[in-house]
């Protein structure tokens, strides 16, 4: 359920099916590893036209997000003097709310690890375009290559949408899965779990990479084999963690912060980064083009692109395992040195989001 960090705000649950309204059709591109970027498409290379800034408002800045709600408010208010309203929820809830408010947006900034969905907002003309943060030159090469041509959003970090993790009491290291293809092997039948790509924000970038990498037919073939092998699909990554510690499953494709939290709690688990790479979930920030809080919105984006802010998120945040987008930031010391990330092209992933989520939902239900 959505959590609203403002005493005067309230809202009900919004149908998940609204998330399927965002997408159209696209073409396949090759996957990329950390340090590289997806190939540009005709639409993504179109000239950007700056959006005029509406009048400034004295109202608090409203930010829609799915993580870091426990610390980002006080951090930003202390640094900037701007007041902040935070509306938090899972990926499906936030995107459904944005769609429901399309004619009368209540948000100023969206900050979430759902780059394909936010890319689609830009294609739909809902985001501020043509603006560059003052500190954009301080971004890593990896982050700079993820900036769309219309400059409608900026990456604030990337993490593994899923790594492999297994229960060491049930599986020996020698027999543990090493690659994504291992999840369809007979020895892992009915003992694997993963998060639902239609609900959990990082889960769609995870599945999208396989479809983008292997083509729609190849992606369907891969997940057909995994689902036929009895994989259990849970709403969110914390549900997957609970199933793994409870013995309901013995292996999982799990978002990396959740995986490392389990390790830090001394749970009997081990993490495996597949050699082919872990599909990345890129957290991006975008500004609603009609916001009346333009100055505060720009200040917020520049704040979360600041290396000091990103370091504090890594040092103190609950979702602290990620590859920062700002130069000079140190990732968690226990994060694997060989943490290879691969990224689905955001244009392709945005264009195929409805199709993939619908296909996956139909298969998972069966």
pLDDT at 1: 41
Cβ neighbours, 10 Å, residue 266: 7
> In the structure, what pLDDT confidence band is assigned to residue 32 with cuts at 50, 70 and 90?
very low
Position 199 pLDDT exceeds 90:
no
pLDDT at 364: 65
pLDDT at 7: 35
pLDDT tens string 145-186? 999 999 999 999 999 999 999 999 999 999 999 999 999 999
CB contact at 8 A, 66 and 91: yes
Position 14 pLDDT exceeds 90:
no
What CA–CA distance (Å, rounded) separates 317 from 114? 18
CB contact at 8 A, 230 and 363: no
Residue showing tokens 């993939």: 356
Q: Where are the alpha helices (DSSP H) in the chain?
A: 72-80, 91-100, 115-123, 141-144, 203-228, 237-246, 256-264, 294-305, 307-316, 346-351, 353-365
Percent of the chain residues past pLDDT 70, beyond the cut = 84
Backbone angles phi, psi at 119, to 5 degrees: -60, -40
Position 10 pLDDT exceeds 80:
no
> In the structure, what pLDDT confidence band is assigned to residue 338 with cuts at 50, 70 and 90?
confident
pTM: 0.80
pLDDT at 363: 81
> In the structure, what pLDDT confidence band is assigned to residue 201 with cuts at 50, 70 and 90?
confident
**Stretch 132-155: mean pLDDT:** 97
Query: How far apart, in Å, do the first and last CA atoms of the chain sit?
Result: 26
Q: For residue 157, list its beta bridge partners.
A: 283, 324
**Stretch 206-212: mean pLDDT:** 96
Between β-strands 278-287 and 154-160, what pairing exists: parallel, antiparallel or unpaired? antiparallel
What CA–CA distance (Å, rounded) separates 78 from 178? 45
> In the structure, what pLDDT confidence band is assigned to residue 50 with cuts at 50, 70 and 90?
low
Position 51 pLDDT exceeds 70:
no
CB contact at 8 A, 323 and 338: no
Which residues, 6+ apart, have CB-to-CB distance to 353 below 8 Å?
Answer: 19, 20, 22, 23, 116, 117, 120, 204, 208
> In the structure, what pLDDT confidence band is assigned to residue 309 with cuts at 50, 70 and 90?
very high
Q: Is 314 exposed, middle or buried (0-12, 13-18, 19+ CB in 10 A)?
A: buried
What CA–CA distance (Å, rounded) separates 74 from 72? 6
User: Which has the higher per-residue pLDDT, 363 or 221?
Assistant: 221
Position 356 pLDDT exceeds 60:
yes
pLDDT tens string 260-306? 999 999 999 999 999 899 999 999 999 999 999 999 999 999 999 99
User: Which has the higher per-residue pLDDT, 361 or 81?
Assistant: 81
pLDDT at 361: 85
Q: Is 104 exposed, middle or buried (0-12, 13-18, 19+ CB in 10 A)?
A: exposed
CB contact at 8 A, 103 and 284: no
> In the structure, what pLDDT confidence band is assigned to residue 19 with cuts at 50, 70 and 90?
very low
> In the structure, what pLDDT confidence band is assigned to residue 230 with cuts at 50, 70 and 90?
very high
How far are the Cα atoms of 56, 119, 229 from residue 184, in angstroms, in the given order? Answer: 55, 32, 6
> In the structure, what pLDDT confidence band is assigned to residue 134 with cuts at 50, 70 and 90?
very high
pLDDT at 198: 86
């Amino acid at each position: 359920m959505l959590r609203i960090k403002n005493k005067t705000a309230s809202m009900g649950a919004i149908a998940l099916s609204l998330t399927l309204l965002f997408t159209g059709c696209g073409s396949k591109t090759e996957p990329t590893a950390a340090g590289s970027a997806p190939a540009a498409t005709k639409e993504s290379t179109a000239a950007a036209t700056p959006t005029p800034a509406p009048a400034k408002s004295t109202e608090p800045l409203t930010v829609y997000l799915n993580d870091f709600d426990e610390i980002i408010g006080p951090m930003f208010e202390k640094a900037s003097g701007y007041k902040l309203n935070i509306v938090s929820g899972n990926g499906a809830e936030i995107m459904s709310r944005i769609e429901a408010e399309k004619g009368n947006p209540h948000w100023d900034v969206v900050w979430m690890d759902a780059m394909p969905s936010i890319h689609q907002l830009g294609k739909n003309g809902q985001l501020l375009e043509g603006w560059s943060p003052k500190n954009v030159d301080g971004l890593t090469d990896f982050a700079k290559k993820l900036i769309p041509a219309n400059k409608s959003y900026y990456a604030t970090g990337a993490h593994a949408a899923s790594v492999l993790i297994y229960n060491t009491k049930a599986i020996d290291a020698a027999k543990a899965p090493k690659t994504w293809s291992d999840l369809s092997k007979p020895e892992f039948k009915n003992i694997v779990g993963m998060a639902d790509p239609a609900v959990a924000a990082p889960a769609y970038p995870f599945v999208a990479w396989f479809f983008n990498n292997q083509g729609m037919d190849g992606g369907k073939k891969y997940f057909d084999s995994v689902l036929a092998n009895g994989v259990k699909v849970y709403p969110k990554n914390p549900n997957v963690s609970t199933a793994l510690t409870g013995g309901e499953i013995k292996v999982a494709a799990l978002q990396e912060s959740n995986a490392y939290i389990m390790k830090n709690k001394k749970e009997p688990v081990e993490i495996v980064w597949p050699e082919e790479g872990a599909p990345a979930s890129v957290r991006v920030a975008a500004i609603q083009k009609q916001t009346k809080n333009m100055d505060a919105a720009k200040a917020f984006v520049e704040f979360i692109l600041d290396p000091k802010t990103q370091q504090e998120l890594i040092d103190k945040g609950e979702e602290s395992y990620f590859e920062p987008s700002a130069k000079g930031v140190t990732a968690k010391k226990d994060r694997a040195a060989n943490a290879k990330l691969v990224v689905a092209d955001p244009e392709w992933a945005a264009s195929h989001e409805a199709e993939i989520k619908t296909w996956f939902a139909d298969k998972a239900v069966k």
